[in-house]
Amino acid sequence: MELNAPLTALNTVESFEELYRRTFPRVYAYVASLLRDRSSAEDVTAQAFERAYRKRSGFSARRGTPEAWVFGIARNAALDELRKRKRRATLESEPADLWSPGPDEEAERAFQRDEVRRAIASLEPRDRDLIALKFAGGLNNVEIGRVLRLSESNVGSRLHRAVEKLRKACE
Amino acid sequence: MNEETTTIVIDNALATGSVTALDPEERKLQELALALRADAPVPDEDFALRMNARVSAGFPRRKRIALPRFAVARPRFTAIAAAASLLIALVIGVSLSNRDNGTEVAATSGGAPAELRDEASAKSAPAAPQRAAAGGATEQSADSVASSPPIVGPIPPTDNFVGGRNRRVQRSAALTLAAPEDDLSQVGDQVIAVTDRYRGFVMRSTVTSAADGQAGGSFDLRIPVRTLRPALRDLSGLADVKSRTENADDVTASFVNARTRLEELNAERRGLLRRLEKAITEQQAGAIRARIRLVNVQIESAQSSLKELQRRTSYASVSVSLVPKDEGSGGGGGGISDGARDFRDSLVDSANVALRVLGVALPIGLVLGLLIAGNAWATRRRREAALDA
């Protein structure tokens, strides 16, 4: 089976495994960006894929791509985790071990990354969610619209504003 | 740079993995996009291996205490179902309660009017004769007269569907029933049986067989007004109803007038008796006695009129006509027409059942749908609230 062929149904184990292979690193990256905690991100990612596996027969291609569907499930799981954290009043906690620099990472590159991370941290949570879906999740605007229940043009507008904020924060 | 350009520039950078734009601003944006993607967290190798294994195994379930599946997996659905059940039970309870109240009201108007009349009459009785004598056959005067002490015996309660409970209504009905020619006699017997069952009586009956000419029959019945409706229902069930008419004439004014006239005559008689006691000469006494005899005759006549009115308002006149059923023309055509009629009746019955089922299922479905939609909306709002700063 071609790796990039679009999936229209997930009623077989093989098709789900293919979806998993395509999306696992991106779903993890998105969830980790949102939760900013490696351990929680792993739990939530595992939970999201398990939910997706159990609900796979309920997937309908009319409601969007399988990728958008999995990201929707992952987002719900991540938001549930955030709610739990909010109750524990640690929503804005700093990431502990999410991004560890490599031993041979250049100083300039490390400085640039820190700058970007600070800029992302300065964004509002909703903008951070959008940026994570776009850059960590690798979704296009239509798929992001499906996940967030927004129109494509609305996603474009919000993305434009969020990127502008990021650029200003990086300057 | 507008929104559209931003999207195009970013998507180009992400697709090619390099900075392709010539414009310095766009290049900066592409560099930022690539930096953001490069900075995306990467899963640990161990975690990825564990996940791969779980996916390959089909996410085996961990062993749990065996609770009912609906209670474990769908607590919200259980709550919704419980709420919907409560709501439905509430609706049914309220509707039944309303129906009970309606029955009580009906029973009050039909079954226990005497006490209510007596209670109401205590206040308005003294003024009644004057109002009635003035010719005012109004609801109020009718109440007053009906509630005054009885002159010619207790008045049976009536099923007054025209107006107030003390109105006097003369009711009649006419029914034309069609039965197979061979069954006309049997249906005629059943008409009489129904009349007996409801304590009515047959004034006149005729059943003609086919040998004597045109087959058919007619019945002139008197049915107690209070049982007229069930009696008509039973009579209608004996054969096919070709026509049914019901009439109601308000005779309250005539009733009040007759009663007032009787009271006046009684009062005159009492006055004459007092004058007779005080009469001095035999001639005077004779004249008074003659007048009393005349008044006595008038009282008897007034009582008779009043009784007749009471009888007419207590019993409904029901005319039942029996006609032979049209079996259809053309030899053997009856079977087809019967079949067609049965088919039509079955369709109507099915439609009735379907409508009733729909009448129950639709509100329940709506309530459940609203609850599920409301629950989904509330859950989404709660989740989204986690992103509120």
Which residues, in sequence order, are CB contacts of A54 under 8 Å at separation 6+? Answer: B59
Q: Is the dihedral of CA A37, A40, A46, A51 positive or negative?
A: negative
pLDDT at B69: 56
Instruction: Extract the residue ranges of chain B whose pLDDT is less than 50.
Output: 100-163, 329-333
Q: How many CB contacts within 8 angstroms connect chain A with chain B?
A: 121
Residue pair B252/B168 in contact (Cβ under 8 Å)? The answer is: yes
Q: What is the dihedral of CA A67, A68, A73, A77, to 10 degrees?
A: 100
Q: Are A113 and A10 in contact (CB under 8 A)?
A: no
Q: Which residues of B touch A156 (CB under 8 A)?
A: 3-4, 6-7
> Strand pairing of B240-250 and B315-324?
unpaired
**Closest to A33 (Cβ–Cβ): which among B40, B54, B382?**
B40
- Answer yes or no: do B3 and A79 touch at CB < 8 A: no
**pLDDT at residue number B101:** 46
B7 touches chain A (CB under 8 A): yes
Residue A8: predicted pLDDT:
57
- The reply to whether B37 touches chain A by the CB within 8 Å rule is yes
Residues of B in contact with A80 (CB under 8 A): 383, 386
CA distances from A59 to A54, A70, A127, A133, B257 (A): 10, 10, 28, 20, 83
Sign, CA dihedral B117-B120-B122-B128, equals: negative
pLDDT for A27 equals: 95
Q: Could you tell me if B152 and B310 are in contact, meaning their C-beta atoms sit under 8 angstroms apart?
A: yes
For A60, list phi and psi in degrees, rounded to 5: -125, 130
Q: Is the dihedral of CA A70, A76, A79, A84 positive or negative?
A: negative
Task: Name which of B2, B8, B28, B39 to mutate to probe chain A: the one with the most chain A Cβ atoms within 10 A of its Cβ.
Answer: B39
CB contact under 8 A, A45 and B386: no
From first to last of its 171 residues, chain A has per-residue pLDDT tens of: 344 455 556 666 668 888 999 999 999 999 999 888 889 999 999 999 999 999 888 888 887 888 999 999 999 999 999 888 876 654 444 444 455 555 555 666 677 778 888 888 888 888 999 999 999 999 999 999 999 989 999 999 999 999 998 888 877
CA distances from B299 to B125, B255, B271, B314 (A): 21, 15, 14, 22
B194-241: pLDDT as tens digits: 999 999 989 988 888 766 557 888 999 999 998 999 999 999 988 888
Residue B86: the pLDDT is 76
pLDDT at residue A88, as a whole number = 65
**Measured distance CA(B322)–CA(B205) in Å, rounded:** 11
User: What pLDDT shows up at residue B141?
Assistant: 37
Listing DSSP states for chain A in one string gives: --TTSPP----SHHHHHHHHHHHHHHHHHHHHHHH--HHHHHHHHHHHHHHHHHTGGG--GGG--HHHHHHHHHHHHHHHHHHHHHHTT-TTPPPSSSS---TT--HHHHHHHHHHHHHHHHS-HHHHHHHIIIIIS---HHHHHHHHT--HHHHHHHHHHHHHHHHHHH-
Q: From the CB of residue A19, how many other CB atoms can be counted at a distance below 10 Å?
A: 23
The tokens for B375 are 């629950």
Each residue's pLDDT tens digit, A73-108:
999 999 999 888 876 654 444 444 455 555 555 666
pLDDT of res. A102 = 56
The answer to whether B318 and B231 have CB atoms below 8 angstroms apart is: yes
Kindly list the residues from chain A whose CB atom is less than 8 angstroms away from the CB atom of residue B11: 140
Residues in B closer than 8 angstroms to A120, CB to CB, are 36
**Sign of the C-alpha dihedral, residues B8, B11, B15, B20?**
positive
Nearest CA in chain A to B385: A83
Give Rg (Cα) of chain B.
43
Q: What is the pLDDT of residue B152?
A: 40
Instruction: Decide the pairing of beta strands B315-324 and B169-179.
Output: parallel
How far apart are the C-alpha atoms of B18 and B27, rounded to whole Å?
10
Interface ipTM = 0.81
